[in-house]
Structure 1
């Protein structure tokens, strides 16, 4: 980071993320382990981990098991630290977000509308980005 002349506050954020990731995973690369497993085991594990939260989305609620399995297979885990921006207002929505652990504070000014501010806290089991489905 020094070699790339990153500002000190950005270096601190990188260090905080690496430390948090280590604490959260204990250094285990779960994705590498999953990829080493046979496809049927990966599907069963993904289904076990994801099916309940996927079913909470009304659009997915009535889908058959085969479609739900396909959705679960495509979910990707990500880890974010406090004060990270996951999506910025005005950016196009590219993915759905399912909260598994922790919380996400979401706020908007409705595109910069004067006097408008809305905020919500998403908690485990919540999701956002369902507008992609329509």
Structure 2
């Protein structure tokens, strides 16, 4: 049968990536990292989700987002007791991101532009002296502290494993917490506890 369009799109994208890497004469370790990323993130199929989402109604977008994020929502304790309108609001705003082992998701001392929810994987929270304060895995979130305080990042976050994360931008974060002030309070309480640990 004819190859389906999503596989074809993936193959064409990889061809572009290969050409780009040759053109830039990237070293082989970097080429391998990039190819591994594509393989892990897309698993052989590419879709223009944004385009698809632009065409459907808000109601369908919410249903799809809730469905796609169902495992995440079920594993994040923070969502479990929350108002379902709040959860729907957040999941429709989340961006899917993939990081590889040893990647830094967050660098200490930088300003935060987003926070993260871990769908799958393990990250280490690393202090300025290089000590690992704690590790977080599936269902945890991080990066919210500096969005609440508007200060710089207080620690670095480094991936132990491949990590599939969902990020929430600072603009969306503030928008949602303005709509649901009780959740801001909950987050602030958790952040205070975290800061004292750090």
TM-score with structure 2 length normalisation? 0.51
Say whether residues 1:68 and 2:87 are aligned partners.
yes
Once superposed, what is the RMSD of the aligned Cα atoms?
2.9
8 Å CA contact 1:46–1:72 kept in 2: the answer is yes
- Displacement, 1:12? 1.5
8 Å CA contact 1:34–1:42 kept in 2: the answer is no
Say whether residues 1:22 and 2:42 are aligned partners.
yes
- SS state at 1:125 partner: coil
Say whether residues 1:125 and 2:146 are aligned partners.
no
CA distance in 2, matches of 1:53, 1:3: 44
- Displacement, 1:14? 0.6
The within-5 A match list for 1:93-112 is: 93-101=112-120, 103-109=121-127, 111=128
- SS state at 1:57 partner: helix
Change (3 A) 1:54 1:20: closer
Which 5+ residue runs of structure 1 have no aligned equivalent? none
CA distance in 2, matches of 1:79, 1:118: 22
- More helix, by proportion: 2
Aligned twin of 1:84: 103
The total of aligned residue pairs comes to 125
CA distance in 2, matches of 1:42, 1:105: 30
CA distance in 2, matches of 1:57, 1:5: 45
Say whether residues 1:52 and 2:73 are aligned partners.
yes
CA distance in 2, matches of 1:70, 1:6: 41
TM-score with structure 1 length normalisation? 0.71
Which 5+ residue runs of structure 2 have no aligned equivalent? 1-20, 149-187, 189-198
8 Å CA contact 1:53–1:98 kept in 2: the answer is no
8 Å CA contact 1:47–1:73 kept in 2: the answer is yes
Q: Deviations over 1:66-109 (max 9, x none)?
A: 343322221111122223221122222221111112x1322323
